[in-house]
Amino acid sequence: MKPRGTAELFIASLVLLTASAPSLAFDLNNLENQLNGTLQQNLSPGSPPQNSPNSNSAALASMNNGEVGAGLKAALNKGVDSAVSTLGRTDGFYGSPKWRIPLPPSLQKASDLMHMAGLGGQADALDLAINRAAEAAVPQAKTLLVQAIKHMTLVDAKNILTGGPHSATDYFRQQTEAPLTQKFLPIARQATAKVKLAKIYDRYAGEAAQFGLIKPDESSLDSYITQQALSRLYQAIGDEESAIRANPVAAGSALISKVFGAL
């Protein structure tokens, strides 16, 4: 058997370490509690008014289905525009402490040791490649996200507003995660192919995943980058939604201001 190099031995031991990556989600922060009464009444003609302060709002009650749905769609579109422009640019990930994608846990935990062992250059190159791949991938998401919003029905809007704090995340993931994964993977693969450490990691991480030593989504750098980029993209959209809800006038849209300002 061919002796393994220093880097291979080092990475082989690193991938045996397992860690949990933080879970990120797009959260509308109980937006459904704010519009639930009025939208539910609008979608179900003849149903009795809900006993909540929001259902008694004269401003919201005066809006028709189209206005409420269009206001929600406008807010989501603004969130998509902001998220894509923030992340889909040079240093959108790499230059941001909030959005930067770390090395996979098995490598991140030992980054200091890698530098001490003379492998720091490879680790740094991989760190940069991971984030540059995410920055290049994010703009590819805009078309599909906008289509998901455009095709949103009043029933979809009702489900988002009444389905719980993560219902909007569920909607975007259901509509876009599979096709976006297919768009992101080749971009990630092209970026990591230039880094020798990526090939070493994939080799041993794949073996470790078969024995349950690391999570399946960490067994391939391409999959890891894609999952991390999508999670941050959805979170960024959620952050913009929170800002719109807090100050709808600042959104610069009369419709958004009317619907969200009535709250």
pLDDT band at 93 (very low <50, low <70, confident <90, very high): very high
- The chain-wide mean pLDDT, for the chain, equals 73
98 or 249: whose pLDDT is higher? 98
Tell which residue, 263, 134, 106, 132, has the closest CA to residue 197. Answer: 106
Residue that wins the pLDDT comparison between 42 and 223: 223
* Confidence band, pLDDT 50/70/90 cuts, at residue 10: very low
Identify the CA nearest to 219 among candidates 200, 204, 197, 199: 204
Which are the contacts of 49, defined by CB distance < 8 A and separation ≥ 6?
Answer: 37, 41, 55, 56
| Contact of 58 with 76, CB cutoff 8 Å | no
Q: Distance (Å, rounded) from C-alpha 15 to C-alpha 11? A: 6
More confident residue, 145 or 117: 145
Pick from 231, 230, 210: nearest CA to 220: 210
> How many angstroms separate the CA atoms of 200 and 9, rounded?
10
Q: Would the pTM count as exceeding 0.85?
A: no
Rounded to a whole number, what is the distance in angstroms from the first to the last CA of the chain?
Answer: 70
CA distances from 149 to 78, 79, 152, 155, 194 (A): 11, 11, 5, 13, 36
Which residues touch 219 (CB under 8 Å, ≥6 apart)? 202, 205, 206, 208, 209
Q: 3-class SS at 253?
A: coil
Parse the chain into domains and list their residue ranges.
25-261
The tokens for 38 are: 């009025």
Q: Are 59 and 194 within 8 A, CB to CB?
A: no
**206: exposed, middle or buried (Cβ count in 10 Å: 0-12, 13-18, 19+):** middle
pLDDT tens digits, 33-85: 433 443 344 434 444 344 344 443 455 455 666 777 787 788 888 889 999 99
Q: What DSSP assignment string belongs to 37-86?
A: HHHHHHHSTTPPPPSSTTTT-HHHHT--HHHHHHHHHHHHHHHHHHHHHH
Q: Is the pLDDT of residue 147 over 70?
A: yes
pLDDT tens-place string over residues 97-127 = 999 999 888 777 666 777 777 767 888 888 9
Length of the chain: 263
Segment among 54-68, 87-101, 221-235 with least mean pLDDT? 54-68
Residues with Cβ within 8 Å of 10's Cβ and at least 6 positions away in sequence, in order, are 110, 113, 114, 117, 119
Between 155 and 10, the more confident residue is 155
151 Cβ neighbours under 8 A, 6+ residues apart: 175
**Six-digit token string for 79:** 């969130």
Q: Which of 21-25, 39-43, 64-68, 237-241 has the highest mean pLDDT?
A: 237-241
Q: Which helix (H) or strand (E) holds 136?
A: helix 120-137
